[in-house]
């Protein structure tokens, strides 16, 4: 293959990564933005979404699309419910104190990971894609499913954006983010808003995971790399800035796809991590974020 | 009977703990002595972490890199350059201290959550580096140091570090030294100013303290102690692997210090010992020991945010350092 098609392939793969990554990072960013909680267990909600997707899709027979759609609906709901309960039982009792919540979510990470290992096992299992159509480009055929992942992610992000900016729920969430105490004084049930946001963030990670399982398999350790990547995306985009998150996800997804075509993946990860750490050191508000108030 | 002053009481307690540990060398059965030797070395790691997290209030999620720097500094020089233990151990210390200086200098420009993520990322880069140079480090599989190389030369003779009793005593010596240093620091003006920075950074700055320099000194000292633990682990147990640089080994010292009690001198030992035996006991019933770690983390942060030694100090022994 000449350089051009090779580059196109790398770009397409990068866009798929970017699409899934931005959904997951959006969840992390929402939780941090509204609750000021760094959710270290976010990667495990993603893993849980993937594992549940396998389980739901293996429950029903028939056309693979049936199982996949079932997983796409149920898996994020179950994950969101688990996150909701975890928030009520643990995080709310810690008063959202940053360091305590980090320790608690690390504990949550271990619990979810261990339960997945115990009940799901150490194997990696695939979910069959809902359709196997290939779009033939002049140089190579490309999976239509991967393209639809990009499309669906964009839809999900638009939906989240509408939810945040055009609905009552979004207004309540933004009010809570802006000033927790004033919001409470105006009768907003801040505790329930926090639980809802935490559940929504986990649900977004689960949606991202369901979308990815037909491409990558479900495995109980699959959460760590996306978690670090999401941190990177959220930081580069500016903590709490949704627009920045999406731009950064595309940037990171594309450069990840393209760099790993030309360098060894370990070296690529090393460089990317180091660069992001330096961004955080010298520009703590991120590339797109405004300086802290 | 004359009443002892708080300072005499605490010195007596610490000497007593060290003497008790010394006696355990002959009292304990072989298996538990082996476990305790490992716990002592890892408790040194936890004490190093405690200097940054407990006293200075710097929540780092990257201390595995300092431990691993000591581990690799000592292990690689023994394995590849066939150095003897003394210079190899020193190399480990220098590697960890230098790394802590650089990382501290960069990471301390940030605070709070950003500090945590930056240290996590630096540690991840270090971990990936050990995987990238897999020709020298053999990655996750690791290196086993030959027994013949693990001897400590003295003017009067040699100590064979692979002998269980010698190993225990050397681990105890390192532990006692670091315990003495921590006790001294906790009472010295430097340690007091670290605690004051943890409690109110702005006020300390206003009082004319150089907060950045104090924090940097705390991170470097913490890195030095962690590296000492890592280097000791390499020469005492003869195994060097990437697993010790992974994120789990950044979280474990946090867990040990939290369980034992942050900013207490004996907390790291209590926490490490407690978690080791909890996991040991749990593993005999179930393979799911990570579940226990997770539950203990959440339980401690919910119900005992001050840890075991911290709770004891609060309720019964206010003089406990």
B153-167: average pLDDT = 79
Tell me the C-alpha distance between B26 and B24, whole Å. 5
CA angle (B100 as vertex; B99, B104 as ends), nearest 5: 120
Tell me the C-alpha distance between A139 and B267, whole Å. 64
**What are the helix (H) ranges across B200-266?**
201-206, 211-237, 248-260
The pLDDT, as a whole number, for residue A2 is: 67
Cβ of A144 under 8 Å from any chain B Cβ? no
pLDDT tens for each residue of A19-57: 999 999 999 988 988 888 889 899 999 999 999 999 998
Give kind and range of the element (H or E) at residue B293. Answer: helix B289-303
Residue A121: count of CB within 10 angstroms of its CB = 12
The pLDDT, as a whole number, for residue A250 is: 86
Q: Is the pLDDT of residue A262 over 90?
A: no
Give kind and range of the element (H or E) at residue B109. Answer: none
Tell me the C-alpha distance between B96 and B62, whole Å. 12
Tell me the C-alpha distance between A167 and A169, whole Å. 5
A277/B132 CB distance under 8 A = no
The pLDDT, as a whole number, for residue A195 is: 93
Distance linking the first and last C-alpha atoms of chain A: 51
Which of A108, A267, A274 is facing B298, going by the closest CB pair? A108
Tell me the C-alpha distance between A64 and A70, whole Å. 10
Split at pLDDT 50, 70, 90, the class of A197 is: very high
Q: Is the pLDDT of residue A287 over 70?
A: no
Tell me the C-alpha distance between B216 and B218, whole Å. 5
Tell me the C-alpha distance between B261 and B305, whole Å. 8
pTM over 0.95: no
Split at pLDDT 50, 70, 90, the class of B9 is: confident
- 65-124 in A: which are within 8 Å (CB) of B? 90, 93-94, 98-100, 102-104, 106-111, 113-115, 117-118
pLDDT tens for each residue of B86-127: 889 999 999 999 999 999 999 998 887 788 888 988 999 999
Residue A254: count of CB within 10 angstroms of its CB = 17
Interface predicted TM-score (ipTM): 0.79
Q: Is the pLDDT of residue A1 over 60?
A: no
Q: Is the pLDDT of residue B33 over 70?
A: yes
Chain B residues whose C-beta sits inside 8 Å of any chain A C-beta? 59, 61, 106-107, 109-110, 112-114, 116-118, 120-122, 124-125, 128-129, 131-132, 247, 251, 254, 258, 287-291, 293-298, 301-302, 305
pLDDT tens for each residue of B170-207: 899 999 999 999 999 988 899 899 999 998 888 988 99
Beta bridge partners of A141: A136
Domain segments of chain A as ranges: 7-127+140-282
**DSSP tag of A179:** -
The pLDDT, as a whole number, for residue A293 is: 42
CA distance, residue A147 to nearest chain B CA (Å): 31
Cβ of A167 under 8 Å from any chain B Cβ? no
Tell me the C-alpha distance between B262 and B272, whole Å. 12
What is the three-class DSSP state of A240? Answer: coil
> Across all residues in chain B, what is the average pLDDT?
87
**Using H for helix, E for strand and C for coil, what is the string for B124-180?**
HHHHHHHHHCHHHHCCCCCEECCHHHCEEEECCEEEECCCHHHHHHHHHHHHHHHHH
The pLDDT, as a whole number, for residue B96 is: 94
Based on its alpha-carbon atoms, the radius of gyration of chain B, rounded to whole angstroms, reads 19
CATH match for A7-127+140-282 among 1.10.3470, 2.60.120, 2.70.98, 1.10.10: 1.10.3470
């Amino acid at each position: 293959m000449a350089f051009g098609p090779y580059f196109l392939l790398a770009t397409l793969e990068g866009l798929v990564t970017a699409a899934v990554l931005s959904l997951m990072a959006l969840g992390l960013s929402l939780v941090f933005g509204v609750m000021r909680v760094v959710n270290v267990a976010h990667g495990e909600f993603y893993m849980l979404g993937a594992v549940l997707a396998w389980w739901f899709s293996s429950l029903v027979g028939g056309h693979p699309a049936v199982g996949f759609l079932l997983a796409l609906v149920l898996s994020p709901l179950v994950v969101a419910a688990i996150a909701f309960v975890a928030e009520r039982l643990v995080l709310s009792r810690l008063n959202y104190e940053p360091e305590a919540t980090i320790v608690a979510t690390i504990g949550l990470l271990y619990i979810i990971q261990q339960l997945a290992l115990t009940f799901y096992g150490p194997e990696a299992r695939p979910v069959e894609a809902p359709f196997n159509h290939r779009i033939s480009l002049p140089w190579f055929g490309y999976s239509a499913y991967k393209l639809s992942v990009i499309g669906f992610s964009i839809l999900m992000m638009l939906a989240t954006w509408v939810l945040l900016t055009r609905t009552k729920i979004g207004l309540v969430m933004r009010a809570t983010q802006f000033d927790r105490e004033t919001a409470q004084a105006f009768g907003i049930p801040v505790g329930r808003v926090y639980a809802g946001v935490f559940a929504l963030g986990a649900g977004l990670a689960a949606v991202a995971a369901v979308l990815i399982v037909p491409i990558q398999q479900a495995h109980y350790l699959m959460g760590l790399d996306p978690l670090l990547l999401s941190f990177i995306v959220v930081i580069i985009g500016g903590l709490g800035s949704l627009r920045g998150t999406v731009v950064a996800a595309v940037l990171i997804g594309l450069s990840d796809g393209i760099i790993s075509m030309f360098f060894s993946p370990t070296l690529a990860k090393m460089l990317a991590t180091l660069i992001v750490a330096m961004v955080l050191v010298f520009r703590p508000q991120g590339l797109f974020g405004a300086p802290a108030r | 009977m004359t009443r002892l002053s708080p300072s005499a009481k605490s010195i007596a307690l610490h000497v007593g703990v060290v003497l008790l540990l010394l006696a355990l060398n002959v009292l304990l059965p072989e298996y538990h002595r082996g476990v305790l030797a490992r716990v002592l070395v890892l408790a040194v790691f936890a004490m190093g972490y405690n200097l940054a997290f407990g006293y200075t209030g710097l929540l780092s999620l990257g201390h595995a890199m300092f431990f691993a720097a000591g581990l690799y500094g000592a292990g690689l020089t023994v394995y590849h350059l066939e150095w003897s233990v003394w210079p190899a151990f020193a190399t480990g210390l220098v590697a960890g201290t230098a790394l802590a200086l650089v990382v501290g200098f960069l990471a301390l420009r940030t605070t709070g959550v950003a500090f945590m993520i930056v240290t996590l990322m630096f540690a991840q880069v270090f971990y990936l580096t050990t995987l990238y140079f897999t020709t020298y480090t053999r990655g996750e599989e690791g290196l086993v140091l030959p027994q013949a190389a693990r001897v400590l030369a003295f003017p009067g003779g040699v100590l064979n570090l692979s002998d269980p009793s010698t190993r225990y005593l050397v681990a105890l010596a390192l532990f006692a030294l670091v315990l003495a240093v921590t006790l001294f620091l906790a009472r010295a003006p430097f340690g007091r100013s670290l605690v004051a920075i943890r409690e109110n950074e702005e006020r300390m700055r206003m009082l004319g303290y150089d907060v950045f320099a104090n924090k940097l000194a705390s991170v470097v000292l913490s890195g030095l102690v962690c590296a000492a633990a890592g280097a000791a682990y390499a020469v005492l147990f003869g195994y060097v692997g990437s697993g010790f640089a992974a994120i789990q080994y950044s979280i474990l010292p946090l867990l040990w210090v939290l369980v034992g009690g942050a900013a207490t001198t004996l907390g790291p030992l209590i926490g490490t010992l407690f978690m080791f035996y909890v996991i040991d006991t749990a593993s005999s019933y179930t393979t799911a020991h990570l579940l226990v770690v997770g539950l203990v983390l959440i339980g401690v942060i919910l119900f005992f945010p001050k840890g075991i030694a911290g709770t004891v100090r609060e309720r019964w022994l206010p003089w406990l350092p």
